[in-house]
Amino acid sequence: MKESLETAAPVSGTTSPWRGDFPVFAVTENGKPLVYLDSAASAQKPHQVLDAVRHFEAFEYANIHRGVYKLSETATARYGGARAAVRRFLNASDDREIVFVRGTTEAVNLVARSFARPRLAPGDEILITHLEHHSNIVPWQLLCAETGAELKVAPIDDRGVVDLEAFAGLLGPRTKFAAFAHVSNALGTVNPVREMTRLAHAQGVPVLVDGAQAVAHMPVDVQEIGCDFYAFSGHKLYGPSGIGALYGKLEHFEAMPPYQGGGDMIRSVSFSGTTFAPAPQKFEAGTPNIGGAVGLGAAIEYVEAIGWEAIESHQRALQEHGEQVLASITGLRLIGTAPERVSLFSYVLEGVHPHDIGTFLAADNIAVRSGHHCAQPVMERFGVPATTRASLGIYNTRGDLDALAAGLQRVKEFFAA
Q: Which residues bind ligand PLP (CB under 6 A)?
A: 103-105, 133, 135-136, 181, 185, 210, 212-213, 233
Task: Give the nearer residue to ligand PLP in terms of CB position, either 133 or 369.
Answer: 133
Task: Give the nearer residue to ligand PLP in terms of CB position, either 233 or 289.
Answer: 233
Task: Give the nearer residue to ligand PLP in terms of CB position, either 136 or 365.
Answer: 136
The Cα 264–Cα 279 span in angstroms is 11
Task: Give the nearer residue to ligand PLP in terms of CB position, either 188 or 358.
Answer: 188
Task: Give the nearer residue to ligand PLP in terms of CB position, either 16 or 189.
Answer: 189
In whole angstroms, the minimum distance from the beta carbon of 344 to ligand PLP comes to: 10
C-alpha dist (Å) from residue 191 to 112, 181, 206: 21, 7, 17
DSSP state for residue 414 in the 8-state scheme: H
The number of CA neighbours under 13 Å toward the Cβ of 142 is: 14
227 given a catalytic annotation: no
In whole angstroms, the minimum distance from the beta carbon of 214 to ligand PLP comes to: 8
Residue 355: partners with Cβ closer than 8 Å, 6 or more residues away: 370, 371, 386
Let me know if 57 is exposed, middle or buried by CB neighbors in 10 A (0-12, 13-18, 19+): middle
In whole angstroms, the minimum distance from the beta carbon of 32 to ligand PLP comes to: 27
Identify the bridge partners of residue 209 per DSSP, sorted by sequence position: 180, 230
Please give the single-letter amino acid code of residue 340: E
Residue 73 Cα to chain centre, angstroms: 31
Q: How many CB atoms lie within 10 A of CB 81?
A: 14
Considering 74, 374, 402, 415, which one is annotated as catalytic? 374
Identify the bridge partners of residue 156 per DSSP, sorted by sequence position: 162
In whole angstroms, the minimum distance from the beta carbon of 189 to ligand PLP comes to: 10
Instruction: Note whether 343 and 392 are within 8 A (CB).
Output: yes
Omega before 280 within 30 of 0, i.e. cis:
yes
Task: Give the nearer residue to ligand PLP in terms of CB position, either 185 or 396.
Answer: 185
In whole angstroms, the minimum distance from the beta carbon of 352 to ligand PLP comes to: 25
Instruction: Note whether 116 and 126 are within 8 A (CB).
Output: yes
Edge-to-edge strand list for the sheet holding 207-210 = 98-101, 244-248, 229-233, 207-210, 175-181, 125-129, 150-154
The Cα 336–Cα 208 span in angstroms is 23
Alpha helices by DSSP H, 62-178: 70-90, 104-110, 138-147, 164-170
Active site residues: 374
